[in-house]
Amino acid sequence: MRIIAMALGLVVALAATGCGPGGSSSVAGKSSLVVGVKADQPGLGLEDAHGNFAGFDVDVAKYVAGKLGASQVTFKAITSAQRESWLQQGLVDMVIATYSITPQRETLVTFAGPYYVAHQDTLVTTAETDIHTVHDLAGRRICSVPGSASAQRITVALGIPAVPVPAASYSDCISKLAAGSLDAVSTDDLILAGFAASRKGAMVPLNAPLSDERYGVGLHKGDIDGCEAVNRAITAMYQDGTAPRLLDKWFGSTTLQLTTAVPQFEGCS
């Protein structure tokens, strides 16, 4: 009887892991989803004083969730440093938060997509006259955010001796740049375009892309069914014209060159 009771307890425990926000069950079969998005990135994910979220990533999340059959979507503000741990801890079902697909991250989460391919660029103030390319960042102060590899791509991958200055988030980076405690902010061009638009001409991107940043939809590791379902939703989003419309809605007024073709998927594994 004790063995039977232990076995039943194990079954119950395993079943419980598939319940609730972020459980191990696939996102493809859930009627409600909890999605991690950024809360401080204009144009991508921005939370207002009433707790409402708006931006390209938020709209993508709503579209994808609808295609998956979810009737309820709850958004949670997430930072770059929290993305892997929140998925692993079951605090969110999906992460759509300027989440670039990298080999290191793929060991921790399953990625669908990408849903957009951005490019790392650099933002400076309009008063800056000496920074024209990434190589001009040598000896200059650049922003470094936990959970983001943008600063390391400059200092390590490219070997440019810039001076990383820690900041809590990219909105913090922009505040430091405006205050003069930074010389430049380098990260994805969609992020920079949103901030530049919000600063009404006080900051400009160099329009000198450094890399491809494949924005993926982060899922629990091993959710292959969910990954394939999300990829089908992303394909539909481009084919029915939603993706181009959303890109124009959020970034059409900027100088950013937008890509409206369906991105090449990574494959689900």
Q: How many domains is the chain built from?
A: 2
| 74-83 residue pLDDT tens | 999 999 999 9
In the block, residue with structure tokens 């938060």: 97
| 114-168 residue pLDDT tens | 999 999 999 999 999 999 999 999 999 999 999 888 999 999 999 999 999 999 9
| 229-254 residue pLDDT tens | 999 999 999 999 999 999 999 998 88
Could you tell me the CATH number of the domain that includes residue 67? 3.40.190.10
**Type of residue found at 114:** P
Q: Which residues of 126-156 are buried (b: 16+ CB within 10 A; e: fewer)?
A: eebeebeebebbeebbbbbbeebbbbebbbe
Asked if residue 64 belongs to a domain, the reply is yes
Q: Are residues 88 and 32 in the same domain?
A: yes
Asked if residue 219 belongs to a domain, the reply is yes
Q: Which domain holds residue 37?
A: 21-116+214-251
Structure tokens at 46: 């921005």
In the block, residue with structure tokens 């000198």: 208
C-beta separation of 21 from 91 below 8 A? yes
Overall pTM > 0.85: no
C-beta separation of 116 from 57 below 8 A? no
What is the Cα–Cα distance from 113 to 214, expressed in whole angstroms? 8
